[in-house]
């Protein structure tokens, strides 16, 4: 399943579960110039209200992270979980690491999602962690 976060007509971010049927194959075409970003969040990481900088898929590789939305709902994500960040407007969402080691998500920009990487997506040493395909 992919969990989509999106901005509703009320200006709030909402969760939507997008099921993946086991009998179907889902191919994503990677294009020249497509970006992948690996980022390690420290254990104490917290990001206050923000919108997604562009439509992007987030694949959780290690650790646990929590996303909160405006109505107070939070959802936890761990290794193997996929989030489609699609809340480009409105209040946005919060993000935090839950484990003592932090979390390691991988971002994949959706097609025609705009430039990358976003300034928030930097390694602790200030260098870009983008991998071009």
Residue 58 maps to a domain: yes
Cα separation, 36 vs 109, in Å, equals 7
CATH number of the domain within which 98 lies: 2.60.120.10
Residue 97 maps to a domain: yes
What pTM was estimated for this model as a whole? 0.68
Residue 15 maps to a domain: no
Residue 26 maps to a domain: no
Structural domain boundaries enclosing 81: 2-6+34-132
CB 128 within 8 A of CB 36: no
Residue 20 maps to a domain: no
DSSP-H helix ranges across the chain: none
Q: Which residues pair with 106 in a beta bridge?
A: 38, 59
CB 54 within 8 A of CB 116: yes
Q: Looking at residue 18, what is its pLDDT?
A: 86
Q: Looking at residue 22, what is its pLDDT?
A: 63
For the chain, 133 residues long, give each residue's pLDDT as a single digit of tens. Answer: 789 999 999 999 999 998 876 665 555 555 555 666 777 778 888 999 999 988 888 888 888 899 999 999 999 998 889 899 999 999 999 999 887 565 566 656 565 555 444 444 433 333 223 222 2
| 3-class state of residue 72 by DSSP | coil
Cα separation, 8 vs 6, in Å, equals 6
Q: What's the number of domains the chain is made of?
A: 1
Residue 70 maps to a domain: yes
Q: Looking at residue 120, what is its pLDDT?
A: 43
Residue 81 maps to a domain: yes
Residue 120 maps to a domain: yes
């Amino acid at each position: 399943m992919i969990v989509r976060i999106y901005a509703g007509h009320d200006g709030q971010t909402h969760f939507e579960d997008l099921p993946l049927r086991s009998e179907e194959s889902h191919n994503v075409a990677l294009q020249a110039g497509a970006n992948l970003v690996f980022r390690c969040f420290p254990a104490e990481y917290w990001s206050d209200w923000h919108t997604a900088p562009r439509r992007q898929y987030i694949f959780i590789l290690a650790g646990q992270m929590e996303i909160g939305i405006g109505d107070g709902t939070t959802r936890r994500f761990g290794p193997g979980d996929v989030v489609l960040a699609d809340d480009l407007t409105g209040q946005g969402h919060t993000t935090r690491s839950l484990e003592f080691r932090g979390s390691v998500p991988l971002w994949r920009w959706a097609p025609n999602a705009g430039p990358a990487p976003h300034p928030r997506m930097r390694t602790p040493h200030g260098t870009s962690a983008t991998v071009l395909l």
